Structure 1
Amino acid sequence: MGAVLPLLALRAFTETGRLGSLKAAAESLGVTPGAVSQQIRLLEDRIGVPLFVRARHGVYLTEAGARVHPGLLRGFDQIEKSLSTLQSLASEKAITISTVPSFASAWLVPRLGRFHELHPHIEVRVEASAKIVDFKRDRIDVALRHGLGHYPGLESIRLMAPVLLPVASPALLAKGRPIKNPLDCLDYPLLQDADRADWTLWLQALGVDAGEQAKRGASFEEDLLLLRAAAAGQGIALVQDTHAQEDIDSGRLVVALDKPWPSRFAYYIVCRQESLQRAEVQAFISWIKDEAAVDADLPA
């Protein structure tokens, strides 16, 4: 082996040559333009040959730089592929699942013990976030998304379609007028979703046009927060049945009116085509479909 390679300097040179800009290379590498410039100067001093010509609108390769740049570009590309292979080997028995916090807490996590009993050799990592997954950037194997099922470039499998239920604390309902029809819900404070749309849609589906009355009240980004506010007696929340079931079973919440209306959206299993080839992903998808079918009282 020869002398220690100046990998940082070579990487800075390769990215700058590829992008034609010190600033763009710095953004790509997550450093400052000054740091990139310094690494290139160190490389030029070491080999005694200028590699770039500085111009008003960026930089371009000298003849010497242009001769070696393609080979270095291929070299770093191969290094990245090799590193990705090592990471895949290290985590081939693990799968990472992404979903929103409310679904993870109320439905997925309480059931994961059954998956572990069936597949003790598969490690499941759950990332609970409202952030939409970028499969090209994030190391996610399966996302459980609530939407219309249209995810270009990805595989999507319909999992379940929860219904919306109006729920409230027993103490709040004991103090107010009885709720016998959808219109009676308006006698109570309403707890809203972030878009203030669910109450309007639910009431309209049940034949009530409440106008702006249906949009009043505090709003919350997540069903978990809606459920906590409802359990504290702050109003009636309109939430997915799967999210509310634990609080209903415990008695913290009751269904204010037994008039569920199916949501326009459904939960979908979303993943890349290549992920479907992994036995671990196949096992998880098969298991979660069985769980959803049991909840729906349908054959798996």
Structure 2
Amino acid sequence: MRDQLPPLNALRSFEMAGKYLNVARAAQELGVSSGAISQQVHALEKWIGCRLFKRTNRGLDFTEPGAAYYEEISNAMENIRTATQRVGRPDVRKGLVISVTASFAMKFLLPRLTGFRDLWPDVDISISTVELVNEYQASDGDVGIRYGIAHQSGMWCKEILRDELLLVASPDLLKQPLQEFDLENVLNFPFLIDQHPKIIKEYPSWETYLMRLGLANVKDLMFREFSQQWMVIEAAINGEGVALAKRCLVKNDLDSGRLVSLSDIELELESGYYLLTLPENSSDPVIRSFWKWLGQEATKISASPSAQQKSQKAVIGGQYL
């Protein structure tokens, strides 16, 4: 009877290609050539009997069976890594302190953290929040999650996710079915914003987004300001106005119906979230597992049906917290 397990190298190549949706980055991660990644993925597709990826203007994307297969395979591969680390290094760390902004902790990390705790039930995991997104210091925690810090001297930095801004609001605010909502009516609502002028050099403004909507040179806009993005999101849920928010922070609220996306026009951010730690921690099995797990959770967001809907995206450079 034929062995029902595909070749391990093909699975590893598929996992990395799926994580980054980029053959070159997958090849860099595994230390092989781009051609080797493509060859292994094609071999896996032939072995399974269906296409797992498709080409788009932006690069690779999953087919429907490919997205489902990736979620299963990435979880299985991480379980293999974790089991191997436990057996091979029984002296793993006893605790992990994660330094992160309150917004990322509340809207992304905490709702998902049980999944990582299940991987390391004997590790005491705690969260330490910082108010401002600035450089990570080792005294902040064992690892830090920061937005827009791709490189920091003396630190090991790994990308977690890239994101885009969505126009969102409470369905109760609209007072009509979403399909009947005229985008020009967005001007009748308060615009919810958060600002950290001391640390943000540039960030996408409401004016930038309104220009993308074809609503340029609009006067007399009403703004309501908050100190942090989680406050903006909660205010939007409560019907106080409309907000521009990162997809990763509002994914659960969109899925639950607490928020709705008002437009398929998104502003794609040039920067992203990064995991930072001291270089000597880069081989720590718990920390590496946490990085891989974060990447898997980020991929679930980018591969979700709502994220794959047809959209128009504008790339902008700035740090929006």
User: Taking structure 1 as the reference length, what is the TM-score of the superposition?
Assistant: 0.60
1:97 and 2:104 are equivalent in the alignment = no
1:199 and 2:200 are equivalent in the alignment = no
Task: Measure the CA separation in 2 of the matches of 1:240 and 1:257.
Answer: 14
Say if 2:136 and 2:146, in contact at 8 Å, map to a contact too.
no
Task: Measure the CA separation in 1 of the matches of 2:220 and 2:276.
Answer: 37
Q: How does 1:1-300 map to 2 (within 5 A)?
A: 92-132=93-133, 136=137, 138-174=139-175, 179-181=181-183, 183-194=184-195, 197-210=204-217, 213=220, 216-297=222-303
Deviation (angstroms), 1:166: 1.2
- Looking at secondary structure, tell me which structure has more helix per residue: 1
Deviation (angstroms), 1:132: 4.8
Deviation (angstroms), 1:111: 1.4
Deviations 1:246-294 (A, max 9, x none): 2222322222223222123311111221121322212211222222223
Secondary structure class of the residue paired with 2:112:
helix
Deviations 1:179-201 (A, max 9, x none): 444x5422322111216843123
Number of equivalences: 207
Say if 2:248 and 2:301, in contact at 8 Å, map to a contact too.
no
In the superposition, relative to structure 1, how do residues 136 and 142 fare at CA in structure 2: closer, same or farther (>3 Å)? closer
Kindly name which structure, 1 or 2, has the bigger radius of gyration based on alpha carbons: 1
In the superposition, relative to structure 1, how do residues 170 and 133 fare at CA in structure 2: closer, same or farther (>3 Å)? closer
In the superposition, relative to structure 1, how do residues 103 and 200 fare at CA in structure 2: closer, same or farther (>3 Å)? same
Task: Measure the CA separation in 2 of the matches of 1:213 and 1:155.
Answer: 46
Say if 1:94 and 1:280, in contact at 8 Å, map to a contact too.
no
Deviation (angstroms), 1:134: 6.2
Gaps of 5+ in 2: 1-90, 197-202, 305-321
Task: Measure the CA separation in 2 of the matches of 1:207 and 1:148.
Answer: 32
Say if 1:163 and 1:261, in contact at 8 Å, map to a contact too.
yes
User: Taking structure 2 as the reference length, what is the TM-score of the superposition?
Assistant: 0.57
Say if 2:135 and 2:152, in contact at 8 Å, map to a contact too.
no
What percent identity do the matched residue pairs reach? 28
Say if 2:136 and 2:144, in contact at 8 Å, map to a contact too.
no
Task: Measure the CA separation in 2 of the matches of 1:97 and 1:257.
Answer: 34
State the partner residue of 2:39: none
Say if 2:103 and 2:229, in contact at 8 Å, map to a contact too.
yes
In the superposition, relative to structure 1, how do residues 208 and 278 fare at CA in structure 2: closer, same or farther (>3 Å)? same
Higher mean C-alpha deviation, range 286-295 or range 195-204: 195-204
In the superposition, relative to structure 1, how do residues 207 and 241 fare at CA in structure 2: closer, same or farther (>3 Å)? same
Deviations 1:17-61 (A, max 9, x none): xxxxxxxxxxxxxxxxxxxxxxxxxxxxxxxxxxxxxxxxxxxxx
Say if 1:179 and 1:257, in contact at 8 Å, map to a contact too.
no
Gaps of 5+ in 1: 1-89
Q: CA RMSD in A?
A: 2.9
Task: Measure the CA separation in 2 of the matches of 1:246 and 1:137.
Answer: 31
Secondary structure class of the residue paired with 2:96:
strand
Say if 1:93 and 1:280, in contact at 8 Å, map to a contact too.
no
Say if 1:164 and 1:262, in contact at 8 Å, map to a contact too.
yes
Task: Measure the CA separation in 1 of the matches of 2:97 and 2:273.
Answer: 17
Say if 2:192 and 2:241, in contact at 8 Å, map to a contact too.
yes
Q: Which has the higher contact order (CA 8 A, sep 6+)?
A: 2
Say if 1:97 and 1:140, in contact at 8 Å, map to a contact too.
yes
